[in-house]
Amino acid sequence: MTGTRQPGTGNGLARFSINQMTVKQLPLPELAAACAELGVGGVGLWREPVQEYGVEKASRLFADAGLTVTSLCRGGFFTAADHDAMLADNRAAIDEAAALRTDTLVLVSGGLPEGGQDLIEARARIGGALAELAPYAAERGVRLAIEPLHPMYAADRCAVSTLGQALELAAPFPAEVVGVVVDTYHLWWDERVEQQIADAGAAGRIHCFQLADWVTPLPEGVLTGRGQLGDGCIDMARFRRVVDAAGYTGPIEVEIFNEGMWARDGFEILRETTERFRATAP
């Protein structure tokens, strides 16, 4: 340990942001302190732990620590049966994002509606919900970021499986209101992704860039099997080069859901993650 460092100055972490799910064992104050200690300048937050701590209190905590909240996860689940409750919850998520002074709300759009079989129709419903929510988000200065999830989640979590589909859904809206998330874990398999990242960058729609590695075997439920950077088969440096070349200059979040990492010491995981992140430099 070399004591407190200036976030992101000459430490290879200038664009690094830690998504709090990567170190969910750290309570918010410990997360803020660990970031200060390790020279980390950005955090991606999740609604549930923030609500538990208090939204305003969390906003002050990270502001006082000099940390930028790079995104809030998550809105979405637009295909839910109770449409009004879904809209109300998404408006609350937008309000929380504004209160946390982050410009980006990440959206997990929802899978097939109950009993549904038609992904195209599900995506149409997602587009309809975006149209209902975009003005509310625009008024509050919050960008909606559609996250394509891996096709293995298409049925039950997100009918948006490719960056191309996310861009199509974003297209009717101004780029500063609706954009996309580029997450290596969800997109690495797709031969079209490099072109689509270029398209997203040209359109000014890359609102969030997240890293996690692909490791096998996948665990039951396939939610908590993401790999630490470098432990899997994704060429992170190449992804970073492609996203850089698309003109994206924003933060790069590391968001890993992994039971093994959650079982270890949170500070140690954050330190390891900063080292792994440096090794992904293009």
Query: Which residues contribute to the site for a second copy (CB under 8 A)?
Result: 112, 116-120, 150-152, 154-156, 161, 165, 189-191, 214, 216-222, 232-235, 238
CA 120 to chain CA centroid, Å, is: 24
User: Least distance (Å) from a second copy to the CB of residue 31?
Assistant: 29
Backbone dihedral region for residue 77 (phi beyond 0: left; psi -120 to 50: alpha; all else: beta): left
Query: Helix or strand or coil: residue 160?
Result: coil
Taking the least distance from each CB to a second copy, the nearer of 24 and 238 is 238
Q: By C-beta, is 16 or 188 nearer to a second copy?
A: 188
Assess contact for 233 and 202: CB atoms under 8 A.
no
Decide whether 80 or 87 has the Cβ nearer to a second copy.
Answer: 80
In the complex, least distance from residue 58 CB atom to a second copy, rounded to whole angstroms: 31
- Nearest distance from C-beta of residue 240 to a second copy, angstroms: 13
Q: 150 or 205, CB closer to a second copy?
A: 150
- The set of residues, in sequence order, having a beta carbon less than 8 Å from that of 48 and lying 6+ positions away, is none
Across the chain, where does the E strand assignment appear?
16-19, 42-46, 68-76, 104-108, 143-146, 178-183, 206-211, 213-214, 226-227, 252-254
| Residue among 122 and 270 whose Cβ is closer to a second copy | 122
Residue 167, C-beta contacts closer than 8 angstroms, at least 6 positions apart? 180, 196, 199, 200, 203, 205
Q: Specify the residue, 98 or 193, whose C-beta has the smaller distance to a second copy.
A: 193
Taking the least distance from each CB to a second copy, the nearer of 160 and 254 is 160
Q: Whole-angstrom Cα distance, residue 127 to residue 131?
A: 6
Task: Compute the least distance from the CB of residue 218 to a second copy, in Å.
Answer: 5
Tokens of 153: 């989640």
Short-list 91, 69, 87, 65, CA closest to 78: 87
Question: Closest distance between a second copy and the C-beta of residue 154, in Å?
Answer: 4
What is the nearest approach in angstroms of a second copy to the Cβ of residue 156? 5
Please give the Cα distance from 34 to 69 (Å, whole number): 15
Least Å distance, CB 132 to a second copy, is 24
**Are the beta carbons of 190 and 163 closer than 8 angstroms?**
yes
